[in-house]
Each structure stands twice: as C-alpha cells, then as structure tokens.
Amino acid sequence: MITVALPKGALLNDSIRLFKAVGLDFSAFLDSSNRQLEIWDASHRAKALLVRNYDVPVYVEYGQAQLGVVGYDVLCEKQPQVAQLADLQFGQCRMSVAVKASSPYRSALDLPPHSRVASKFVHCARSYFQGLNLPVEIVPLYGSVELGPITGMSEAIVDLVATGRTLQENHLIEIEPLFTSTARLIAHPLSYRIDLDGVRSVIDQIRHCTAAIASN
C-alpha cells in the first residue's frame, strides 16, 4: 500500500488532478463536507494524508508517507532528507526580496549593512544574503510579513510572490528574485530505493504525465 502526503491549500487541486490521471483518485478531499484527513483510493491501492504544505516533507522523511507533493520553497527552507523526483510544473511563484515602493532601494545590494529583513523563510533569506556577503538581521515573522516594512520594523522582506497583488495593495515592490518555486514530487529515500509497494511504477507514471503536459 502506498501512502501519499497531499498539501492543503493552493497545490491541492492540481495534486489531486495529477494523481487521478495516474489512476489514484483522492478527489474526496475536494468535497467541502468531508472532514477526513486520511482517505483511501477507490481501488484501495493507496491512501492519502491531507496535511499542511510545510508538514508534507516531515511525513515523507519519517516514512509515514512514501510520496508527497510540496512546494520547492518548503524544500529549500526545511532541507528535509527526502528524494526529490520531479518538477510537477504547477504552483509557480517566486521567492523575492521586496521593499516599500517609496524606499530608495532597487536591488538587494542597495540595502544598508545590518538592515532588518522580515521573513518566515529564515533559512532561505539568511543563505541568500550570506551569498551576497551582505550582513543583515533576519526577523522571523509567520503572519503578514508585509507589515515589516509598513511599520518600519524591517527595511525589506523575503516572501513568496505569485501575482504580486498583495505587495501592490500594500505599496511594496519586488526588487530581487531568489528563485522560482513550483510543486515537486518527493519520496521517502528507502521506499524509493527498494521500490516499496510498487512506488516506482507510480513515480514513472507521474513523470510521464508531467512530461506530456509540459510538451503541450
């Protein structure tokens, strides 16, 4: 039996659509009246766990799920011990540095040394500025990080940006992209190596399906 960790939120619909395309139907999670966090595929070949995006790699790393779908941003931040198998080509967004539109800063290197940068992606932010050899103070925030520059607590933020609408509505602008994030297929390393419960067959089907979608 294969167990799949699926992410709540923006990646869920496309994740379910992808697994349905390879014969595993977890669409019961899309029923608003359903409160179950664990469901079986109709064929009973597999079951799925519905978890927070941030928790997907935890369930996979500890072996409670053989497969998972998670944003690349989470993998960069948490650096879990999982096998990264495929870029699934959906859920695209950017990890970016942003500042107040009225500020004089137009690139990350414009920020003064020892500036404060607010982010919930602490590792990503710290690694990026270390790579620039620019000393900054990373301020961990796990709510609306846009308030950092608005209130003057920080000169900048590092956060995910999809359409940019939230930044625009709060008079912030992107000044530097760190990387592009998309949904990734991950696996428990041992399960992948020993092909536990035929997990490689599912992986191959998903890769084939993803490649077909990308070529259209």
pLDDT digits (tens, 9 = 90+) for 162-176: 999 999 999 999 999
Tell me what the mean pLDDT of segment 204-208 comes to.
95
What whole-number distance in Å separates Cα of residue 210 and Cα of residue 192? 19
Residues 63 and 99 in one domain: no
Contact in structure between 117 and 157 (CB atoms under 8 Å): yes
Residues 122 and 186 in one domain: no
pLDDT digits (tens, 9 = 90+) for 105-148: 999 999 999 999 999 999 999 999 999 999 999 999 999 999 99
- Confidence class for position 45, pLDDT limits 50, 70, 90: confident
**Residue entry with tokens 């669409």:** 27
Tell me what the mean pLDDT of segment 82-91 comes to.
96
Residues 12 and 117 in one domain: no
Q: Mean pLDDT over all residues of the chain?
A: 95
Residues 82 and 12 in one domain: yes
Residues 84 and 99 in one domain: no
This model's pTM is above 0.75: yes
CA distances from 199 to 1, 111, 193 (A): 9, 47, 10
What whole-number distance in Å separates Cα of residue 48 and Cα of residue 144? 30
Largest CA distance in the chain: 59
**Residue entry with tokens 């966090």:** 37
Token digits for 156? 């900048």
- Confidence class for position 215, pLDDT limits 50, 70, 90: confident
Whether 80 has a pLDDT exceeding 80, the answer reads yes
Tell me what the mean pLDDT of segment 23-48 comes to.
90
Residues 65 and 113 in one domain: no
Residues 18 and 74 in one domain: yes
Residues 172 and 138 in one domain: yes
For residues 147 and 41, the model is more confident at 147
CATH of residue 102's domain is 3.40.190.10
- Domain extent at residue 42: 2-91+182-215
